[in-house]
């Protein structure tokens, strides 16, 4: 590896480490909040504390598909007067609306993060969405601001990130891109800036490799958007029949999932090439509003709740994805892994009063060093991880310099069988020492359980040394390492 510490690139937006919380399964109720029989909700302080540790920069809510079924007025005012609905999308359970706008924005304050609200285009009206925007953002007097004040909140929250529908090609209305582009223009028109906040308007982007969606949206509605929200999940197996299993898999499936993770390169190349043609100034953010691994639900759980375990494989898929996102920093400014607690590739799993951290949580912890840091140029050849007749780049990395001038390197070795020695020639930086942490485990399917919560957890890393200002890193098989260089 050659690290050119004297060749700073773009800033790594902290918003790339964003999160997503949908009214789905045990993500909201029994995840971020507990709820008693009267519908009173309490933010789980243990969960909040863990999320503050990894400095989550934003939280997207209320969906997902749920967003296009959600009527925000159901979720404000006295709890006992809020109507119950059926969450037809996710398990057909009763949604009593006890977490609504006030509760979500209170959580945002507790987490010291920024909200992203996704409005309802699929089954809602322009008036409803415009009134929601007014309710949370107008300082008053105004009809909606006055109502907010009656409900106990004097000051506006100044929510600037605003999604105009979700997956409008699918659960958000099965629209054609031409139709959605017109709907988007219409809905976005009525989100007005106020002196305290201007809207950052996010259009529903493509599913995976649907480049035509991006082409039409950019052509017909690009002038009216600030962000375009691409969604793509990493799966093996099939959406229609059966996806892969979260914890019971072979090396072939380890390889396959990581190979699928590399699809991000092709997807980002494709969508960004189109965006660059319509927006050469790169004004519009490509937002990866939903990403992560998606497996078959955990045995015994309600299938519609999307509860899955996670292993070291998911963690290394996450670090590889983040490394790829960083390579497109001039366009990719925000991303939201799905979903924060108890759903898909979560940071945290809960069971009653207990809580465990997933392997992916530790990746997000390691990568806090890159939040708003300057990406540094490097060249890396860590060899190939071969399986059968196929191969992948074995090692992936990110290097950055933070606001205090400290250089950090994260290195992932995807090869489950072989360690790698990485010699790092450091240009433009005086290095006298190095310290680090490692995430690894004995087995490819190692994971944390309520009985054994620390099977995959960080440890001090002693495999790096400095000689003549350059580094040698003994990177164990199937591991992620974060290094801090001392000047």
The site for ligand AHR (CB under 6 A) is made up of: 22, 63-65, 166-167, 290, 338-339, 344
Catalytic residue among 22, 103, 256, 290: 290
Query: Of 217 and 456, which CB lies nearer to ligand AHR in the complex structure?
Result: 217
Based on CB atoms, which residue is closest to ligand AHR, 167 or 323?
167
Nearer to ligand AHR among residue 193 and residue 303 (C-beta): 303
Q: Which of 167, 259, 299, 423 is catalytic?
A: 167
Nearer to ligand AHR, 32 or 441 (CB): 32
Cβ nearer to ligand AHR, comparing 254 with 305:
305
Annotated active-site residue 167? The verdict is yes
The nearest distance, CB 420 to ligand AHR, in angstroms, is 34
CB of 165 to ligand AHR, least distance (A): 10
Toward ligand AHR, which CB reaches closer, 65 or 175? 65
Q: Using the CB atoms, write b or e for 268-305: b if 16+ within 10 Å.
A: bebbbebbeeebeeeebbbbbbbbbbbbbbbeeeeebb
Report the distance separating Cα 234 and Cα 334, nearest Å: 18
Secondary structure string (H, E, C) spanning the chain: CEEEEEEEEEECCHHHHEEECCCCCCCCECCCEEECCCCCEEECHHHHHHHHHCCCCEEEECCCHHHHHCCHHHHCCCHHHCCCEEECCCCCEEECCCCCHHHHHHHHHHHCCEEEEEECCCCCCHHHHHHHHHHHHCCCCCHHHHHHHHCCCCCCCCCCEEEECCCCCCCCCCCCHHHHHHHHHHHHHCCCCECCECCEEEEEEEECCCHHHHHHHHHHHHHHCCEEEEEEEECCECCCCCECCCCCCCHHHHHHHHHHHCHHHHHHHHHHHHHHHHCCCCCCEEEEEEEEECCCCCCCCCHHHCCCCCCHHHHHHHHHHHHHHHCCCCCEEEEEEECCECCCCCCEEEECCEEEECHHHHHHHHHHHHCCCEEEEEECCCCEEEECCEEEECEEEEEEECCCCCEEEEEEECCCCCCEEEEEEEECCCCCEEEEEEECCCCCCCCCCCCCCCCCCCEEECCEEEECCEEEEEECCCEEEEEEEEC
Q: How far is the CB of 11 from ligand AHR (least distance, A)?
A: 28
Which of 315, 344 has the CB closer to ligand AHR?
Answer: 344
Closer CB to ligand AHR, 236 or 399, in the complex: 236
**Nearest residue to ligand AHR, by Cβ distance, number only:** 64
Active site residues: 167, 290
């Amino acid at each position: 590896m050659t690290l050119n510490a004297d060749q700073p690139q773009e800033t790594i937006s902290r918003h790339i480490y964003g999160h997503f919380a949908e009214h789905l399964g045990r993500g909201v109720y029994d995840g971020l909040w507990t709820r008693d029989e009267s519908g009173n909700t309490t933010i789980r302080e243990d969960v909040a504390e863990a999320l503050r540790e990894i400095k989550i920069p934003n939280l997207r809510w209320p969906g997902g598909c749920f967003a296009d079924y959600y009527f925000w007025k159901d979720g404000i005012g006295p709890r006992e007067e809020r109507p119950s609905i059926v969450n037809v999308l996710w398990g057909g359970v009763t949604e009593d609306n006890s977490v609504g706008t006030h509760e979500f924005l209170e959580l945002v304050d507790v987490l010291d993060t920024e909200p992203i609200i996704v409005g309802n285009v699929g089954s809602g009206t322009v008036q409803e969405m415009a009134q929601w925007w007014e309710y949370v953002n107008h300082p008053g007097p105004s009809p909606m601001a006055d109502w907010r004040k009656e409900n106990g909140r004097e000051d506006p929250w100044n929510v600037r990130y605003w999604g105009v529908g979700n997956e409008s090609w699918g659960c958000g209305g099965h629209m054609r891109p031409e139709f959605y582009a017109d709907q988007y223009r219409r809905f976005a028109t009525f989100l007005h800036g106020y002196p305290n906040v201007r809207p950052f308007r996010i259009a529903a982007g493509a599913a995976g490799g649907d480049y035509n969606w991006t082409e039409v949206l950019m052509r017909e509605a690009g002038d009216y958007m600030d962000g375009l929200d691409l969604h793509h999940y990493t799966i093996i197996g099939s959406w229609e029949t059966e996806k892969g299993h979260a914890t019971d898999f072979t090396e072939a499936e380890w390889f396959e999932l990581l190979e699928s993770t590399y699809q991000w390169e092709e997807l980002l190349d494709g969508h960004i090439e189109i965006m660059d043609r319509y927006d050469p100034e790169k004004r519009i953010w490509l937002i990866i509003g939903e990403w992560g691994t998606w497996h078959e639900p955990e045995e015994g759980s309600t299938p519609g709740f999307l509860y899955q375990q996670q292993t070291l494989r998911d963690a290394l898929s996450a670090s590889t994805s983040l490394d790829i996102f960083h390579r497109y920093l001039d366009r990719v400014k925000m991303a939201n892994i799905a979903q924060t607690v108890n759903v898909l590739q979560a940071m945290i799993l809960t069971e009653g009063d207990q809580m465990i951290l997933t392997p992916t949580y530790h990746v997000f912890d390691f990568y806090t060093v890159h939040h708003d840091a300057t990406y540094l140029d490097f060249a890396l050849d860590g060899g190939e991880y071969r399986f059968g007749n196929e191969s992948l780049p074995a090692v992936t990395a990110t290097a950055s310099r933070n606001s205090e001038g400290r250089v950090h390197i994260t290195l992932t070795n995807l090869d489950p069988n072989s360690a790698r020695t990485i010699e790092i020639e450091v240009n433009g930086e005086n290095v006298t020492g190095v310290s680090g942490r490692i995430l690894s485990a004995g087995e490819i399917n190692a994971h944390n359980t309520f009985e054994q919560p620390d099977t995959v957890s960080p440890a001090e890393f002693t495999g790096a040394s400095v000689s003549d200002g350059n580094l040698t890193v003994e990177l164990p098989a199937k591991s992620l390492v974060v290094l801090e260089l001392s000047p």
